[in-house]
Structure 1
Amino acid sequence: MKTYYNIILLLFCVALLTQSCSTKKDKLINRKFHALGTKYNVLYNGNIALERGIDGVNNEFTENFWELLPVERMNVSEDIFMPGQTKNADFERAEEKAIKAIQVHGMNFGGKEKNPQIDEAYLLLGQARYFDQRFVPAMAAFNNILNKYPTSDKINQVKIWREKTSMRLDNDAGAIEKLKRLLKEENIEGQDLADASAALAQAYINTKSKDSAIAQLAIAAENTKVKREKARYHFIKGQLYNEFGKKDSANIEFDAIIEMHRQVPRSFYINAHLEKSYNTNLSGEDDIEFQEYLTELEENRENRPFLDKIYYRIAEYHRNKISDSIAEVYYNKSLRKTTSDKYLRSLNYETLGNMYFDKNVYKTAGAYYDSTLTAMVINTKPYRIIKKKRENLDDVIYYEGIAQTNDSILKMVSLPKAEQLAIYTKFAEDQRQKALEEKEQQEKALKQQKSQPALSNNLDKRNPQFSQKNQGNPPGMSRDFQTNTSSKSNSSFYFYNSTTVAYGKSEFLKIWGDRKLQDNWRHLSDRANNTNTKTNDSITDTAVADTRFNPETYLASLPTEQTDLDSIAKERNFAYYQLGIIYKEKFKEFELSKTRFENLLDNKPEDRLVLPSKYNLYRVYIELGLNQKAEAMKMAIINDYPESRYAEILLNPQSELSKDENSPEAIYTKLYKQFTDEEYASVITEAEAQIKRLEGDAFVPKFEILKASARGRLFGFEAYKEGINYIALTYANTEEGKKAQEIITNAFPILEKKKFIADDDAKQFNVIFQFENNSGEDIEAFIKTLDEEVAKIEYFDLSTSKDVYDENTTFVVVHGLKSIGGAKGFAELLKTEEKDKKGRVVKPKITRPFFAISSPNYAIIQRHKNLNAYLELQ
């Protein structure tokens, strides 16, 4: 009987369950069943997936405390995904659960949803799409709730999420309007109020209304229940106050974060300390206390992940205190910390580069700028600024090297022989001591190397467990893997120690000599040669050592001929001139420029450098406010060089001659127009005159380039090559000199080819009529007649030109023919007789000799002036 009742009860429950599973019946049991299933099964799992996905987004996001933080912690990717694709599997699962809740558990009767959980399903759907950065579908989900479920208890949250999505779609103005209306019309409090205020603050920041954002961030920080968010809102407020110059208000916000200490992420805590330290105005009494404060940050073990920034802050402190040596130590300590903060690395490298630049150690500064570029985003404005500065530094390094080396040589030569000998004796002795120290270190390292195997054996004997432990391998790890993954830096392996390797190489050469890399290298038949080699090497080594440590060697290397000394002085003076220009024009380092120009004038430079140096020095004096010196230099230029263009500029500064016909710019423009008009002889003559007139001026290389190009057009490739090579050598560190070097490297290998190509390989052909310049023939009249005849040809797109070949020859060219036969046929057609409308025979207007040539071959004869070679092949 009991079993019978149990069966009936079971059947009743199954029937009840079956009835309640239906979404087609609007009954209490059906509504409750689906509401519970939606909430505690589908949406529960969906929300877990959403939270897991949000955690993943937060972990992927790296806070950039160097810039204003975003209110919401999320990176927006520019990647484009096709419909159905997703960026994150967790958000995809959350979306699937939301859709399942809507499709499987939705109970819509008469346009009204009976399952109270469906609005939350749509909210989950919108949030999953939002964090997956599919903002348009997310907006559709949020709008669906607002349209279908206006009485939902989640309606305020939905409105906030919709406006956050709207901001992601760049509709900040609309979001501000609707969020302000929401906060005004609805009684929002708690976390909803914090979220709405934070979203509104971000919208204000996006629209550059940062003062309005501060008030909203204050409301958000006060009402949020999440400590991480509270810290973020306070930090952003502090950053905004700093932008407005309100350091005290900013420090209040940073103090609020510091007071939360371990309740917030450590990154916010440390950066709040650092930002506050930058806002601290130090007096003499507070200085020691501030140093202790920074030291405490440095020594706190919990701050180890942030030592890179702490070291940088300490370095900045010491640099501001003019303690550059201590600052450099801490900048380097910051760099040695492993960090993913590329911006901080670029700051460290750039600052060190600037420090060495200020100390005139340009080579080291250039190396630091190179490292700075590797840590910066390519093609950004800061990157381009550093890149340009680094390129300009190449010129400084080059000319400073020349100036320092030549100054040193000339100074040494000017000393009495006894002083020279004393200086080189000390230098040679220093070299000897250095060599002995290096040898001692090598021998010591070798002894240590030899003693390590014995030490290892003794340890194994005294500690069998240690020996057995090291003989075995961890489970799953092969012996090969264990060997390969051992650290080289900690290994006693001979070839991992550069000192012992160098010593070993030296010892090998002493014993065996310079042996060939071959089998049986120790063969007895080579022994005699080896002995000789060894002996010779020993003698050579001794000779080298004696030469190296002998002061007479250095004395003998000093130049003694006056012509050599004059050449060194001339090169040094030109380097000083270039340095003065570079510091003045490219770096605005007027003190350095002043020093170089003054040193140049003190060294009695060649005449071509004196006047431009004095004028540039006059400009530098003006920039430095040295008015008396500027006036004296001005009068010296006017009195000593009254006919110069610099005197004209000083006497009539309003015209500045940079805009009149006598300025280099105006003359160059005029010459370039003549060049395009093929007046090559005139261009060469005038360019040479301007090069002499403007000696030492920065505009000279431009005239040199124009002159070389004109010579190339008139005299051929060899003349052009000679001119370009001269520019590349003489003006190596100017823009024109670098361009000339590029032409030598990239263009010359192509331009120097003289071999004519086959007509079958060409697509364009020309007909050439040749004229001698001194024949008195009217070339312009011929071109006019030719143009009339060419106009009659409608089946080709033909054109004519007048091209200079050389000093004595001019070509009239018909362009646009498609084959060599067609070119010849066209020219013959011009020479045939025609009949007029009355049937009378008319003699041809064009009867001159011609030759046909392909366009590539025409370029070759113009480039190499080898017309005769081409005609001989026809």
Structure 2
Amino acid sequence: MESFEYVAKHYKKYPVKYYALIWMMRTYNQTGEFGSTQTIRDRIYDKKNKADLEKQPKKFLAELASTEADYFIQQKMYGHAIEPLEKAIELHKSRKTRVRYVYILAQLYQEKREFIKASQYYVQVLKMNPSYEMAFNAQINRAKGLSGKGTQDIRKELEKMLSDEKNSEYFDQIYYALAGLAQRDGEKKAVIDYLKLCILHSVNNDIQKGLAYERLANIYFDKPNYPLAKAYYDSASTSLPDNHDNYRDVVNRKNSLKDIVKYLNIIAYEDSLQQLAGMSEKERKNVIDDIIQKVIDDELKEKQLQNSPTYNPTSEDDIPKSGSMWYFYNSAAMSFGYNEFVRKWGTRKLTDNWRRKNKNSIDPNEMGDDFAESEEEEDIYEIKGDPKRKESYLENIPTNRTQMMASNQRIMDAYYNLGIVYKELLLDDNQAIESFERLLERFPKTEYRLSTCYQLYRLHLGHGRINKANKYRDIILNEYPDSDYAKLIQNPEYIKTLKAKKNKIEKYYDQTYRAYEHNQYQLVISRCAVSDSLFPKNKLQAKFDYLKALSIGKSKNIIEFEKALKEVVAKHPNDEVKPRAEATLALIAKVKTTLKDTGSSVTKTPSPAMYSYNRKLAHYYIIVVPDSVIDVNKLTIDFSNYNSKFFSLSKLQTKSMLLDEETHLIIIQKFSDGNKAIKYYDSIKQNRKEIAALPPGDFPQFIISSANFPLFYKEKKVENYSAFFQDKYLSN
């Protein structure tokens, strides 16, 4: 670049300066520095250069025009690129170059969706004796833009190309182009057939195969046949590279359909088990024998297909079409595990009002995020063990009233969730209505009756079906007059009252949690103790009680901590805090056993007197941070950078260590004595801004001797050691 700039500056009176400027433009185009390209263009077209520019040879003007066209193309400003490219075609003498430019011109018109002009230029390319590959692509691209009568001739040409074996590596592109022509002619079945042929003949062209999969997925999505669409989106996502323009849309569509397939499989699975349960032992044995034989046949068929050069892993026979099909004849559904739900949503039942088993209240901020909860979370909807053994099927059949109730519950959950996914994620109101109405039809006394009726009321109202909307409105008002839904129907402004109440509770909880983060445990205990009276029946009460228990654990002895945790478990058996509290109780039990074996007392409150003071020993610097509000990795890196910048000669090491499940220690080690450590402590206090990952707040920090650190880590009482540190290191 410096050479070009040198020539342009020192040879202003010579034509060579213009060539240098052109090469500068080309370089900036390739590096994406389009502002710099525009600056060079302005220099070239400056008024003082006009007369000189007009004297330049056609070859130069052609190069300038093509470079300008590239400038616009690189920025996807295709319309602006046409004029300079047409000028370049007119000025260039090289036939090979002109053919390439005409081909690009055709592509530009195609991008602008001016298909007639694009087709005319592709025909022009074909008349210019292009290379075989360019001629082939011109035919294919021409086919993409034609419609009506013009498609017949090009279809014949493309079909003729299929009979020529030398085109075999391009068969996938030909079939894809034929699919486009068939789609424009309204031949829906032909479109699908051509796309499948495209996939079968795509051997080395994953992008072409991925585009065909995507197109098939879009077709079935629009029908709608969501399970089949999801299968094709799956295949498209594995074929397209992740930097392809369509990749993100494909993945988003695939993810949005994943739950559809899952819930349809749940319904089919449970219905099939219930059908088996209703059979005689002999009938059941015969059916299971048939199922096992089909599994064996499918495995053999799969092995044979995998050895075929035209193997297509996406088969419509393996796709669930509805929620009521016979599950065990669907080999794809049988391998569909429920753990996908856990991977996607995690433990979402722990979030406030995530799933509404209590249908008398609503969360104003989660009106659409309203999924049902299954009684069990993992691996329910898979065949356990060997699918070729009878026992693998028999053990899942609901043979008593309790098991049948659990099976029905899972079907109800699936129908309700299915309706929500259709409504909220896919915006398919008709399918949502079908799922919700099917739920009420099969289970009129379902616990989802209230919320389902409200969903149907809103859906029918939105489509102007007043009579149907009124039907579900009346059910809500007559059967559930005191529910939030009834109040919302009678007073649309009621939602504002709910939001205001929810915001007030959340603000109070956030303030309480911040106090906990700042080790203000007595304040936390006091605020949590009055939360129930301040906000009766609030949905965060379990969190308040758990936070209170944690604060007791931080500030009191283990006996009081254990008692507080047991109260949490007893008061909130269905909340997310229960398993957390139970896990902590299990740890406490182990600690008590250990202490009993050693003869120690569990009621003793550790005292700072347990620590010894000796500045001559090696010391560490420690800062205590909650991982809920701080990125511990970034903070560790910031401390390492700080040490390299200000204490490079000290050869300090930085590491992080868990103090408990919610708190990390950032440890800087080691200093030869306490005096050097306290200087580092003071340095951090003075230069806190250097640690960018450390947010505002008073986080506990101190220095500690190598002898005291094991005692501190065993005790895990930050306030105890902080008092000792204050007394011995800061007060002297």
| Aligned pair partner of 2:212 in 341, 345, 348 | 348
Are 1:253 and 2:121 an aligned pair?
yes
Are 1:241 and 2:116 an aligned pair?
no
Q: How does 1:637-652 map to 2 (within 5 A)?
A: 637-652=476-491
Match of 1:161 in 2: 23
Match of 2:37 in 1: 172
* Most deviating of 596-605 and 349-358: 349-358
1:227–1:264 CA contact under 8 A, matched in 2: no
| Aligned pair partner of 2:416 in 542, 557, 577 | 577
Match of 2:405 in 1: 566
Q: Given residue 428 of structure 1, which amino acid in structure 2 is its aligned partner? A: D
Deviations 1:669-701 (CA, angstroms, capped at 9, x unpaired)? 54444444523455689999455xxxxxxxxxx
Q: Given residue 277 of structure 1, which amino acid in structure 2 is its aligned partner? A: A
CA distance in 2, matches of 1:391, 1:545: 28
CA distance in 1, matches of 2:19, 2:706: 83
1:765–1:853 CA contact under 8 A, matched in 2: no
Aligned-pair distance for 1:573? Answer: 0.4
Aligned-pair distance for 1:386? Answer: 4.2
CA distance in 1, matches of 2:301, 2:25: 74
Q: 1:400 to 1:730 in 2, by over 3 A?
A: farther
Deviations 1:612-661 (CA, angstroms, capped at 9, x unpaired)? 22222333335555454334434443444333222333334356438732
Q: Secondary structure at the match of 1:175?
A: helix
1:687–1:704 CA contact under 8 A, matched in 2: no
Match of 1:854 in 2: 712
CA distance in 2, matches of 1:439, 1:379: 37
Deviations 1:450-488 (CA, angstroms, capped at 9, x unpaired)? xxxxxxxxxxxxxxxxxxxxxxxxxxxxxxxxxxxxxx9
Q: How does 1:110-509 map to 2 (within 5 A)?
A: 135-144=1-10, 146-147=11-12, 150-151=13-14, 157-165=19-27, 167=29, 169-170=33-34, 171-180=36-45, 185-205=53-73, 210-260=78-128, 263-282=129-148, 291-317=155-181, 321=186, 323=188, 327=192, 330-331=195-196, 333-334=198-199, 336-339=201-204, 343-354=207-218, 368-376=232-240, 378=242, 383-411=247-275, 413=277, 417=279, 425=286, 428=289
Q: Given residue 38 of structure 2, which amino acid in structure 1 is its aligned partner? A: A
* Most deviating of 344-353 and 422-431: 422-431
Q: How many residues align?
A: 526
2:423–2:432 CA contact under 8 A, matched in 1: yes
1:166–1:175 CA contact under 8 A, matched in 2: no
CA distance in 2, matches of 1:345, 1:545: 33
Aligned-pair distance for 1:292? Answer: 3.0
Q: 1:718 to 1:578 in 2, by over 3 A?
A: farther
Greater relative contact order: 1 or 2 (C-alpha under 8 angstroms, separation 6 or more)?
2
Q: Given residue 270 of structure 1, which amino acid in structure 2 is its aligned partner? A: F
Q: Given residue 139 of structure 1, which amino acid in structure 2 is its aligned partner? A: E
Aligned-pair distance for 1:412? Answer: 5.3
Q: Given residue 276 of structure 1, which amino acid in structure 2 is its aligned partner? A: R
Q: Given residue 643 of structure 1, which amino acid in structure 2 is its aligned partner? A: D
Match of 1:790 in 2: none
CA distance in 1, matches of 2:73, 2:302: 62
CA distance in 2, matches of 1:287, 1:302: 24
Q: 1:672 to 1:596 in 2, by over 3 A?
A: farther
Q: Given residue 275 of structure 1, which amino acid in structure 2 is its aligned partner? A: N
| Aligned pair partner of 1:590 in 408, 425, 429 | 429
Q: Secondary structure at the match of 1:854?
A: helix
Aligned-pair distance for 1:578? Answer: 1.7
Can you give the 5+ residue segments of structure 1 that lack an aligned partner in the other structure?
1-134, 446-487, 491-543, 692-701, 767-793, 798-812, 824-851, 863-874
Match of 1:26 in 2: none
CA distance in 1, matches of 2:162, 2:566: 62
Give the RMSD, CA atoms, in angstroms. 5.7
Aligned-pair distance for 1:587? Answer: 2.6
Aligned-pair distance for 1:172? Answer: 2.8
CA distance in 2, matches of 1:588, 1:230: 49
Q: 1:602 to 1:440 in 2, by over 3 A?
A: closer
Can you give the 5+ residue segments of structure 2 that lack an aligned partner in the other structure?
310-385, 516-523, 554-560, 596-605, 612-617, 625-677, 683-697, 721-732
Q: Given residue 612 of structure 1, which amino acid in structure 2 is its aligned partner? A: S
Q: 1:815 to 1:573 in 2, by over 3 A?
A: same
Q: State the percentage of identical aligned residues.
A: 20
Aligned-pair distance for 1:280? Answer: 1.7
Match of 2:468 in 1: 629
CA distance in 1, matches of 2:274, 2:420: 23
Q: Secondary structure at the match of 2:492?
A: coil
CA distance in 2, matches of 1:858, 1:394: 45
CA distance in 2, matches of 1:545, 1:140: 76
1:577–1:609 CA contact under 8 A, matched in 2: yes
Deviations 1:260-301 (CA, angstroms, capped at 9, x unpaired)? 2xx324443333323322222236xx6765643442343344
Aligned-pair distance for 1:569? Answer: 0.6
Aligned-pair distance for 1:605? Answer: 5.8
CA distance in 2, matches of 1:251, 1:657: 58
Q: Given residue 172 of structure 1, which amino acid in structure 2 is its aligned partner? A: T
Q: Secondary structure at the match of 2:426?
A: coil
Deviations 1:508-562 (CA, angstroms, capped at 9, x unpaired)? xxxxxxxxxxxxxxxxxxxxxxxxxxxxxxxxxxxx99985x9xx9789743422
Structure with the greater alpha carbon radius of gyration: 1
Q: Secondary structure at the match of 2:496?
A: coil
Aligned-pair distance for 1:568? Answer: 0.8
Match of 1:60 in 2: none
Q: 1:379 to 1:258 in 2, by over 3 A?
A: closer
CA distance in 2, matches of 1:270, 1:237: 16
Q: Secondary structure at the match of 2:55?
A: coil
Q: Given residue 164 of structure 1, which amino acid in structure 2 is its aligned partner? A: R
Q: 1:210 to 1:441 in 2, by over 3 A?
A: closer
CA distance in 2, matches of 1:398, 1:217: 52
Q: How does 1:825-836 map to 2 (within 5 A)?
A: none
Q: 1:572 to 1:328 in 2, by over 3 A?
A: farther
* Most deviating of 755-764 and 344-353: 755-764
Deviations 1:9-37 (CA, angstroms, capped at 9, x unpaired)? xxxxxxxxxxxxxxxxxxxxxxxxxxxxx
